[in-house]
Structure 1
């Protein structure tokens, strides 16, 4: 199946590494003009060098903390000046922050919601009028499987991600009459920077491959997923091939989650 995004403009938050970088790379290779948003200018420059060799469209970067409303508005203006519009929005920015409920302060709750929920709300609100006018749009909210099946000790991440799932369904209903399709992708155990960091933090001398293999024991498919596999699903949802898919939430997790 040849998934094409020629002529589309895609914005990917958290686009300088991990899943965001994989999504940006896949969409650029499929013909989209791609904008990567992230906080670190040096990281963005490095990401751009990785994406450009296989890109069939333009690659643009904007340094921005998406959890800050004023920075987000300025970044969106930058995108419009550079590329004219936004057709595809991938709300991917976020980190997995968890702890015992009584240890989570108001400040931590607010920071998590600002990064994972309000950033998605604000960006969707900025992109919405143009999508309505053109009667075509795609919004993909990257969540995790805890949004559907939260465990003890999984807050604040599971709570903000669950709110993102509700947002997905609301926007899908409002967007459908205007040709705007909104879906959620739920991350399971995918080989990404967060696991590289966690492996480094263990400092027990275990090779990274063995670390991943240990995690894979809990996965029915028997292995950890790759960023490219996740990006393939996102690229499909962004394309015309998925023209009748909206309001869905898809687990990319090797059947790890007990909830479909």
Structure 2
């Protein structure tokens, strides 16, 4: 089956690197017009140059103003948004007592409130057209929060609850809402972790070691994640809503 998004318009947050970039590229290759949102101009420009006819939008979606600016710019340029991928986020975590109020607020603003605000903006148009696909990118800590997983596991768990609430409300309107939960997938955050590791290994050696405990024996590739996002956005996802799919090589203890 050839997956197509011909005629669809997509908005991908955190679209300049890693999973967001791979997803935006997969959507564009399937025929969608894609707006990519990120904070860094240089990375945004490079991403847009690698995806023909994509629309780069610089915005900080951790703020209400940033969400409104990004969405309005995408909607104006594309004529509407059919597919929304809430991918922007970081992996801030540590002992509970070490997490400050400011860190809690920053994490919730970027990972939870950004999704809430963008969905609120996209929802009326999707409901009017009786078609919408919303994909919330979370991590496997949303189902199985680990010790020292705050604040990210908590905000991701809230994103999981949000996914289920929206799926129930969206189903009668033709709006499908799902979550993809990532484990260890090769992306910029792992490059940064490698750079901070004093062991002195090459990135390939470090990545191989990091992937060894995963049941499949390796870290995932961004393209594998993007393929699952594409399946949810395209025709195979027509009867799929309210799900949380692990894209983790079998890493999560919770199905």
Instruction: Provide TM-score, normalisation by structure 2.
Output: 0.99
| Matching of residue 236 in structure 1 with residue 218 in structure 2 | no
Equivalent residue, structure 2, for 1:14: 14
Aligned length: 255
C-alpha distance in 1 between matches for 2:47 and 2:145: 32
Equivalent residue, structure 1, for 2:183: 188
**Gaps (5+ residues) in structure 2?**
none
- Aligned ranges 1:38-187 → 2 under 5 Å: 38-52=38-52, 58-187=53-182
Match of 1:253 among 220, 238, 248: 248
Per-residue deviation at 1:217? Answer: 1.9
Deviates more, 1:42-51 or 1:19-28: 42-51
Per-residue deviation at 1:204? Answer: 2.4
C-alpha distance in 1 between matches for 2:180 and 2:231: 12
Per-residue deviation at 1:74? Answer: 1.5
Deviates more, 1:171-180 or 1:213-222: 213-222
Per-residue deviation at 1:203? Answer: 3.2
C-alpha distance in 2 between matches for 1:162 and 1:25: 27
Structure 1 consecutive aligned stretches of length 4 or more whose deviation exceeds 2 Å: none
Per-residue deviation at 1:106? Answer: 0.6
SS of the aligned residue for 2:93 comes to coil
Equivalent residue, structure 1, for 2:205: 210
Equivalent residue, structure 2, for 1:55: none
C-alpha distance in 1 between matches for 2:211 and 2:13: 28
| Matching of residue 31 in structure 1 with residue 31 in structure 2 | yes
Q: Deviations over 1:198-235 (max 9, x none)?
A: 10111322011111111112100111100000000001
Instruction: Provide TM-score, normalisation by structure 1.
Output: 0.97
Q: Deviations over 1:112-168 (max 9, x none)?
A: 000000000000000000000000000000000000011110100000000000000
**Gaps (5+ residues) in structure 1?**
53-57
C-alpha distance in 1 between matches for 2:50 and 2:133: 24
C-alpha distance in 1 between matches for 2:41 and 2:235: 32
SS of the aligned residue for 1:4 comes to coil
